[in-house]
Structure 1
């Protein structure tokens, strides 16, 4: 058939939806598959004609100019969605759009809003009622979501939150000594793009579902728990660090004492500070050393490797590892053979 709308015409194929045939004077649903795009919006009227012999066979108005797919003919949910598009409230239309399209920015969702602002008021109500979820780090408030704010239907958010909980629970069970799952591993498992994933994690952290630790994510209920035997081994190792705080057991010795996974857990939760591939310190020892080095530099203007070794009553290996670590953290700056404080 030929489809005419305004001054435009294009060949089209008609797919009836929900009915096998329409008698003259009847109304029903159909999807027009156009051979070329037309700039149509919801509410535009059209007529269709048979080209040969030329005859007008029907007409109607556009309900969904961008369906995104070819509908199946006998799907009740398709007809229900179209009926909502025709007679649904502004709130129902917004919810339906989010359920169909997934997370969408507020600006895109309201791109066809009426000048009267009915859709904006409806969106505000949906957000405040918790039917539409803001994917960001701040809870719903009295203000209208900004155009770039990501929004999701509650049904979509609930399904994703369950996936997050399931995936993190499985990881914690399989790796009880790891603090959490890497961000990228979770994002890949959820199959979300980076922007939506960032909004999802911000919202999940706000709701208390997850704890965002930067590189890793964990359930708020998860913490590393050592067995009795592991805790005894850790106590013995930490006693060695306490006995010689500036000449501590090496990484290799520590792994031999408690195991690689347990040592990684101790570093991850802050029980030990690793300053090089071979050197570890207790956190209070580390803080005290940093304070003494900075105090000396402030007083003397700089500090050498030898001076650091003597100041801390340690060996060259430990002093060098510590100074190189402080350089990498921006706490000190190497200038020839001395360290100085970086400009503030």
Structure 2
């Protein structure tokens, strides 16, 4: 307003928007003082949250109620300490071709749909769509637009994570979908669009997880190691030696050929089933089973008897009552 006083950088004013108003502080972008009758790009820091849209108009009054100016909202969700002049200029120009790439660059891991771009830029959807066509600075995955190069970089991050997993866990090279999303470094919707892209043939996506296509075949040396380990577990029966969860052991567990008793003890599946059947038989004949009773029945040490009873409890076959175990209701009903 020509007859008003100059507006200094940092001055406090009263902002009026529709039927609401709040105090605000002016941050001029290119000068220390705005002279009457001139205009400038500025950031307004409000004392309380306001819902505004691109293109909304507002009035500024001094703290004593005198109207000193007004303006138009360019970016209602501005971030950072300093505004980006090129971004504000693109918004002010209403040029979709110029503004779309800058808008996407501000959300590199999220991307935006055509509708979201239209809302942020305050431009018609058809105008935004035309700007998106054949623009080398933009790529589209599903219905989400992102800055060029972001999808390629995300795929490379995912492939690196899968290669590390395959090298570390050859018996189970698959990661969960949630882990795959995290590996891409993208937002969930954009990561899901990348995983669903049929042109991304470098990964294998299933209901259970994500892996490299060639990583699902077990290396021959690991297969041989697993076969030998299974034979050793079967020979050990109810007294398996303490062992580490090696890749071969994890492979047997994944296939269901081995189970974990706890306390670094692993056993063959058939041995576990045999011991559980013996526990059921003793309980049905005697009504209960004690640690010493199972120890004598198996001909093992107290350590193994304790591990087997805890495994039986975890499997839902027995429950502890004092110093003894009894069959759970489900297994009593099958007597």
TM-score, normalised on structure 2? 0.56
The alpha-carbon distance between structure 1 residues 307 and 201, as it changes in their structure 2 partners (threshold 3 A), is: farther
Match of 1:179 in 2: 172
Instruction: Report the aligned-residue RMSD.
Output: 5.5
Inter-CA distance 172–97: structure 2 relative to 1 (3 Å threshold): same
Judge conservation of contact 1:246–1:314 (CA < 8 Å) in 2.
Answer: no
| Residue in structure 2 matched with residue 283 of structure 1 by the alignment | 269
Number of aligned residues: 276
Kindly indicate whether the alpha-carbon contact (under 8 Å) linking 1:167 and 1:186 is maintained by their aligned counterparts in 2: no
Aligned to 1:235: 227
Partner of 2:238: helix, strand, or coil? coil
Q: How is 1:241-260 mapped onto 2 (pairs within 5 angstroms)?
A: 241-248=233-240, 250-252=241-243
1:72 corresponds to: 84
Query: How do 1:1-344 and structure 2 match up within 5 A?
Result: 1=7, 2=13, 4-6=15-17, 8=21, 10-15=24-29, 30-34=41-45, 36-37=47-48, 39=50, 41-42=52-53, 43-47=55-59, 59-69=70-80, 70-73=82-85, 75=86, 77-80=87-90, 100=107, 130-132=142-144, 160=154, 162-173=156-167, 175-177=168-170, 179=172, 219=211, 221=213, 222-223=215-216, 225-228=218-221, 230-248=222-240, 250-252=241-243, 261-266=246-251, 268-270=253-255, 271-294=257-280, 296-297=282-283, 300-309=286-295, 313-316=298-301, 317-342=303-328
- Cα–Cα, structure 1 residues 155 and 333, in superposed 2: closer, same or farther, change >3 Å? farther
**Equivalent residues of 1:99, 1:155 under 8 A apart:** no
Is the CA contact 1:44–1:61 (under 8 Å) kept in the aligned structure 2? Answer: yes
Asked if structure 2 preserves the Cα contact closer than 8 Å seen for 1:305 and 1:320, the reply is yes
Rg: which structure is higher? 2
* Structure 2: stretches of 5+ with no match in the other structure: 1-6, 8-12, 126-140, 198-202, 331-335
Distance 1:202 1:322 in 2: 43
Structure 1 residue runs without a partner (length 5+): 119-128, 134-151
How does the TM-score come out when normalised to structure 1? 0.55
Q: C-alpha separation between the residues in 1 aligned to 2:314 and 2:283?
A: 17
Whole-Å separation in 2 of the counterparts to 1:178 and 1:132 = 36
**Separation in structure 1 between the aligned mates of residue 231 and residue 153 of structure 2, nearest angstrom:** 47
Query: Is the alpha carbon distance of 1:262 and 1:68 closer, same or farther for their aligned partners in structure 2, counting shifts above 3 Å?
Result: closer
